[in-house]
Structure 1
Amino acid sequence: MPIVQFTPFSSLIQPAFWHELTNLKIDVLRLSDDALPVSGSYSTGRSVVDRESGNEIALGCNLSVGSESFDKDYKAPAGSIPVSGTFKNFNTIEDFKAADKTALFNQEAEKIWDHILKTRNTALLSHFLLITYADLKKYKYYYWFAFPAFVSKPAWEIAEDGWRDATDQFSSEALSSIHTQFHSHPSPLPFFLVRSDSNGTSIAPVESYATFFESTPPSSQTIAFVDPSANPTNPGWPLRNLLAYLRALYPETTSTVRVLCWRDAELHQSTWKSRFGVLEAGGVSSNGGGRPSAVGWEKNPQGKLGPRVADLAPMMDPTMLANQAVDLNLKLMRWRILPALDLEKISSTKCLLLGAGTLGCYVARTLMGWGVRTITFVDSSHVSFSNPVRQPLFEFEDCLHGGKPKAACAADRLKKVYPGINATGHMLSIPMPGHPVPSASVAQTKADVEKLEALIAEHDAIFLLMDSRESRWLPTVIGAAKGKIVLNAALGFDTFLVMRHGARGSSVPAGGSRLGCYYCNDIVAPSDSLTDRTLDQQCTVTRPGLAPIAASTTVELLASLLQHPDGIHAPAPPINVDPRNDASQSDDSTGSVLGLVPHQLRGFLAQFRNMHIVGAAYDRCTGCSETVLQTYEKEGFEMMLKAFNDPKYLPALTGLDKLYDEGEAALESVDWDEEDGDEDF
């Protein structure tokens, strides 16, 4: 009699499976190569009709995996049979190639066999193994499936009449009854028993073999399985292990087996696709009761035993590629270096950049490097011919015809760098103390203030990156009043200042100390510093390398602050912490997984040195004192207008004018020795 030929499983991988593997590898597995459970599914075999020849062509005997295959509560698609598997991902292509695949395969085969003998359960009969290597930089995935199936020795043979239509053995009524009972069963039945007697046709799980067929003659006993093959002469792969299961547990009654290959997913009126055949074991088993040998590695497209490669890069939307790749470097940090790094806290921070010049451009690029997705520019100027060489978001063409608005141009350039960024630009003049507002411009100034207030309210971190001292005053007040993170960066010729403003005094916990803002260390109220300046004073004359250093330092300060559990209330590091000592940087006392969270950094490029400074808040500060903030909250724009128009307003409001008077009085009370002074001349 002919030997039974089985149609092997073919893997069918949904593209979403690779996306899920990418996320799993980066966020969960990292460097782990431990085996994990995975799930898949198969359904009844399908075929299509060739339009030219009219012949029916069987489709593959597919086992499918998708994005949900890694879920613990995996649910197979409707009408499909769920299958468990073992998944193992290797960290390098060399590990993948050198893996002991025979040992891995035998381990899974042993698992199936032990499960059969110990539980008499069929849950693992279609169990599979999947090994992979994910090249996440190139979006190439190397993989190899194995579907362990036990080899019968001697081989199973099929009766002389071979495989035939199920209607040759069962009536349409019987098949309809099987279909109804199969689909009404509370759980999927990959393998089931069929019994025909005076009460009709009934089914039961294969696990009920001993009792279900107890008083049924062999001619009315049928073993059935959901057949993923549509080949008319070759049943699907699951039948191999079902036969091994029966021979291992019921050798006395299974030398001849009547098999129904169930292929009818839908209820038919006349045509049934299921097949029927009578199989014989062909002799006495030669395995001596031990585990039979197993086969089942999937062949590659060339028909050879070997892995396959899924190259997703050509079929992926470039924007999607960028979305997946942009954070790769950041997520790799968490594999070995910083497992506790909260990247989502950084990427979700909305950043407002006041100033789209040299500092603004470099700050934006560094923010993108940290994965920040929302960046908004505010600037009142246009791109000039001196800008592109120093400001990396602009090009020569941006300077033509009077120059493009800097803020909008910078936002557009960020989108070209990374289309997934939410970047916008606003052309806006920031009113300043010491710069009186003409009566005709009051309405426009009020609108500008309201727009700035709205922008600050919508963002989490405010960067002060402007050219003048007084332009930082208004956003300092608004940011403090709204409880925002405010960061300052200012440049000299070869020095820079980077600092974070302290939290508002009323929000500081009892007993805590408050850090100062940009104006706390200055007893002079901000005033006009722009009028009557020479050319070198009108431009920011600085060493070319200073701006990127200061900008990146400012962004790194924000990242460290966001990782501190106290956030904006994070204290300055102790004065005895040496920033040059790597051990002190990693000390848990710093509070942030990224190390220190300094208050101020003053950099000296001539000496290639940074100095940590802590500046306490000043109760007469013109920028963050409670007097200023409460007056702003009470009077709003009217208070602002006074500060713009009257240079004496802020000193009078904060009490600095009294400090000036006290200073003058102290000087007048000094008894100067005029004779000693005359002798010097």
Structure 2
Amino acid sequence: MVLQFHSWASAVEAPFWQVLTQRKMDVFKLDDSLKSIFGYYATGHQVRVPGKDATVALPARLCLGTGAFPDVLESEHASTSRAPAFTYPAPGLVKNTNTIEDFKSIDRTALFKMTVDQIWEDITSGKAVLDPSLLNKFLLLTFADLKKFKFFYWFAFPALVADPAWTAGAFQDIGSAWSQTYIQNLHVQLNRYRETYPLSQHGFFLIKESSDNSSMSTTLVARLQDWDTFYAGCNPEQIVVGFADPSSLDSNPGWPLRNFLTLLYYQWRVSKVRVLCFREVPGKQDISASKIFTVEVPSYVPLSTCPKAVGWEKNAQGKLGPRLADLAPLMDPTRLADTAVDLNLKLMRWRLLPDLQLEKVQETRCLLLGAGTLGCYVARSLLGWGIRNITLVDNAKVSFSNPVRQPLFEFEDCLEGGKDKAITAAASLRKVYPGVNAVGHTLSIPMPGHPISPQLYESVQRDVEKLEDLFQQHDVIFLLMDSRESRWLPTLLGARMKKIVINAALGFDTFLVMRHGIGQDHEYHASFGSSPLGCYFCNDVVAPTDSLSDRTLDQQCTVTRPGLSAIASAVAVEMLVSLLHHPDGMRAPADKADDEGDQEGRTQNNQVSTLGLLPHQIRGFLSRFKNLLISGQAYDRCTACSDAILEAYEKEGFGFLAKVFQDAKHLEDVTGLTQMKEQSEELNMEWDEDSDEDI
């Protein structure tokens, strides 16, 4: 009878699609060229139907798992070492198209012929003799819809067609053909064979049937490349070729035999041979399901050209066509969100910003001081950049005027006196994206010129200690508060701990966004020969004082044009991301456009951030729709970041802060501003006296 083969059925594990997604996003990007891939298969066996005296034949499955792609730094065949136990390798090629239109219009015939030609070349060159796993080569076409988590795919398992066709004799159980002693000896030697040789050799092997099939001393198993020496002096009846058979059918061997027979036919002119369909129950040392039969061709015809081939897999409807794996309903929604959040950012890196350091951005820990309008918008923008760790600090509660201007709050948050802003904002962030580590703290920040009563002394001290701990735990500090004096202590702590500080402040139709320098950075001065950049207070010659008392209603609220806070917040976050990409980091000098027409992102300092210019300060004027890039140097008498202030805080600790909270003029005394003012007044007086005499 004409030999019929049990065709492959693809079995793609769900984690494989996740691996393909990662490769597409991080490695392949827009590259749709053919890539190496590795599948595996196990030998076939039948399973008993529970409660019935019947068995079911399992399909011959070729599987793809998480180890399907070789690691970037390993050799292609190293991936086969990650195949599960009791399985056999099948190398393949995958072509992942960029669009569904490409997937539909791809030249399948040409790709299939190319794969067939490779198999034929491996057979004729003898490469498949040295690495028999190449006989199992397959082709996979895919399109990954990463927004909907749908994967279209189509397998081809090329098999060379014999002409004339192979015919088969009766199939025998292995126990009918050989004695149990011989079978046990054969199994022992097959196990030793698999321990001795690499995985690529395991699926195909040679067997020499002993004249005395009870012999325990004869070597029974060898590699294909040992054919000539192994079978030297043997009768044709002693030659048996074996292969790991994925089929579980009684009279239909698995698909790998097709190309194996072509190899035997071409390399050793084999037109008739006995075949062992090796079938093993994994882990049970049971090979009783193995079959033996004789196969032959009616007449030998030398092969000079590549035979025809078949092998495209049918879909679930039994027709030639692709299959669909829709994983969205099966995936954890949180995991879906993680992948979707990263999608836009990684797409940016594909074409526009190949040097984008997404991992560095995502790992940055951000502390937002202020959970009002600026704080809400900054937090949302940070989420857009994939930042996973956000902490908010505020001492206020959500009021009825907040939700329309502050996108992390809702009307229900205002009821019953209002919820704590920082805690509510953090909870809202987690609702927007469950993967974010968002935490809120209800905490007051002590301010210069705001005296503390004796009974609150310890409470304020604990607040300061808590604030110091939060600074230590974070990489970036955003100053997003309503008043000027509330920014003083965070500015001091940022300078002392050398943290990145981003400051945003609003007027009615103007805004300021700036990055602080890191205090009196003498190392910077020595390296660059110029003064380091200043902080929010470096342009002042007076200490920050109480600006919150005795205010009218319009002064109590931050009265700004509604769109201004969103603009300023976005600019603040973009400034941070640009700073993270600058080679000098926190010490990056201030960039300015060469002129108003500069559109190329050039800098005066020849230092470049991946994202373009990196200014010190951006002053925006919404009434004129214009931004100015300015810079300011650190001031050696600054009331927040000068050496004198940092040394006083280092020496006296909270005692120094208490003096400042009691009377902000203490800052002017420490920095020498008081003395400078007195000297200036004396000079003015002398000038006035001289003027009177002249008159």
TM-score when scaled to structure 2? 0.94
SS, match of residue 67 in structure 1? coil
For 1:94, the aligned partner's letter is E
Residue aligning to 1:65: 64
| In structure 2, distance between residues paired with 1:652 and 1:630 | 14
Residue aligning to 2:9: 10
1:214 to 232, 240, 246: 232
Residue aligning to 1:540: 558
SS, match of residue 84 in structure 1? strand
Residue aligning to 1:174: 182
SS, match of residue 583 in structure 1? coil
Deviation at 1:145, TM superposition (A): 1.0
Deviation at 1:129, TM superposition (A): 0.9
Aligned pair in 2 of structure 1 residues 125, 343: CA closer, same or farther (>3 Å)? same
| In structure 2, distance between residues paired with 1:377 and 1:508 | 32
Q: How does 1:528-607 map to 2 (within 5 A)?
A: 528-573=546-591, 575=592, 577-578=594-595, 581-585=598-602, 589-607=606-624
Deviation at 1:165, TM superposition (A): 0.5
1:83 to 86, 90, 104: 90
Residue aligning to 1:304: 319
| In structure 2, distance between residues paired with 1:307 and 1:394 | 47
CA RMSD of the aligned region, Å? 1.8
Show CA shifts across 1:561-606 (max 9, x none).
Answer: 0011111111101x45246522135999341110011100000000
Residue aligning to 2:205: 192
Alpha carbons 2:207, 2:222 under 8 Å: kept: yes
Deviation at 1:505, TM superposition (A): 2.4
Aligned pair in 2 of structure 1 residues 51, 267: CA closer, same or farther (>3 Å)? closer
Alpha carbons 2:140, 2:156 under 8 Å: kept: yes
Alpha carbons 1:354, 1:463 under 8 Å: kept: yes
Deviation at 1:666, TM superposition (A): 2.7
Alpha carbons 1:169, 1:276 under 8 Å: kept: yes
Q: How does 1:417-456 map to 2 (within 5 A)?
A: 417-456=432-471
| In structure 2, distance between residues paired with 1:619 and 1:16 | 59
Question: Do residues 101 (structure 1) and 108 (structure 2) align?
Answer: yes
SS, match of residue 148 in structure 1? strand
Alpha carbons 2:514, 2:572 under 8 Å: kept: yes
| In structure 1, distance between residues paired with 2:205 and 2:376 | 68
Residue aligning to 1:202: 220
Deviation at 1:511, TM superposition (A): 3.5
| Runs of 5+ consecutive residues of structure 1 not aligned to the other structure | none
Residue aligning to 2:431: 416
Alpha carbons 1:362, 1:547 under 8 Å: kept: yes
| In structure 2, distance between residues paired with 1:405 and 1:470 | 22
Question: Do residues 135 (structure 1) and 117 (structure 2) align?
Answer: no
Question: Do residues 615 (structure 1) and 627 (structure 2) align?
Answer: no
SS, match of residue 634 in structure 2? coil
Deviation at 1:19, TM superposition (A): 0.4
Deviation at 1:195, TM superposition (A): 0.8
Residue aligning to 2:295: 279
1:240 to 258, 272, 285: 258
For 1:394, the aligned partner's letter is F
| In structure 2, distance between residues paired with 1:290 and 1:14 | 37
Bigger mean CA offset, 452-461 vs 201-210: 201-210
Bigger mean CA offset, 239-248 vs 68-77: 68-77
| In structure 1, distance between residues paired with 2:172 and 2:229 | 28
For 1:343, the aligned partner's letter is L
Aligned pair in 2 of structure 1 residues 308, 587: CA closer, same or farther (>3 Å)? farther
Q: How does 1:236-635 map to 2 (within 5 A)?
A: 236-251=254-269, 254-265=270-281, 272-285=288-301, 288-506=303-521, 508-509=523-524, 510-512=526-528, 513-573=531-591, 575=592, 577-578=594-595, 581-585=598-602, 589-635=606-652
TM-score when scaled to structure 1? 0.95
Bigger mean CA offset, 108-117 vs 379-388: 108-117
Alpha carbons 1:4, 1:157 under 8 Å: kept: yes
SS, match of residue 505 in structure 1? coil
Deviation at 1:11, TM superposition (A): 1.1
Deviation at 1:269, TM superposition (A): 8.3
| In structure 1, distance between residues paired with 2:284 and 2:637 | 88
SS, match of residue 136 in structure 2? coil
Residue aligning to 1:164: 172
Deviation at 1:51, TM superposition (A): 2.7
Deviation at 1:78, TM superposition (A): 1.2
Alpha carbons 1:622, 1:650 under 8 Å: kept: yes
Residue aligning to 2:26: 27
SS, match of residue 5 in structure 1? coil
Show CA shifts across 1:467-505 (max 9, x none).
Answer: 000000001001111110001000000000000001232
Aligned pair in 2 of structure 1 residues 337, 586: CA closer, same or farther (>3 Å)? farther
SS, match of residue 440 in structure 2? strand
| In structure 1, distance between residues paired with 2:35 and 2:346 | 21
| Runs of 5+ consecutive residues of structure 2 not aligned to the other structure | none
Alpha carbons 1:579, 1:585 under 8 Å: kept: no
Aligned pair in 2 of structure 1 residues 267, 33: CA closer, same or farther (>3 Å)? closer
For 1:194, the aligned partner's letter is I
Aligned pair in 2 of structure 1 residues 226, 586: CA closer, same or farther (>3 Å)? farther
Deviation at 1:123, TM superposition (A): 3.1
Aligned pair in 2 of structure 1 residues 180, 588: CA closer, same or farther (>3 Å)? farther
SS, match of residue 235 in structure 1? coil
Show CA shifts across 1:356-389 (max 9, x none).
Answer: 0000000000000000000000000000001001
SS, match of residue 669 in structure 1? helix
| In structure 2, distance between residues paired with 1:341 and 1:400 | 44
SS, match of residue 224 in structure 1? strand
| In structure 2, distance between residues paired with 1:54 and 1:587 | 85
Show CA shifts across 1:176-195 (max 9, x none).
Answer: 12221112222331111111
SS, match of residue 606 in structure 2? helix
For 1:422, the aligned partner's letter is N
Aligned pair in 2 of structure 1 residues 586, 469: CA closer, same or farther (>3 Å)? closer
| In structure 1, distance between residues paired with 2:563 and 2:577 | 22
SS, match of residue 346 in structure 2? helix
| In structure 2, distance between residues paired with 1:267 and 1:672 | 107
Identity %: 52
| In structure 1, distance between residues paired with 2:601 and 2:346 | 25
Deviation at 1:267, TM superposition (A): 7.8
Show CA shifts across 1:622-643 (max 9, x none).
Answer: 1111111122122211111111
SS, match of residue 229 in structure 1? coil
SS, match of residue 242 in structure 2? strand
Count of residues in correspondence between the two structures: 669
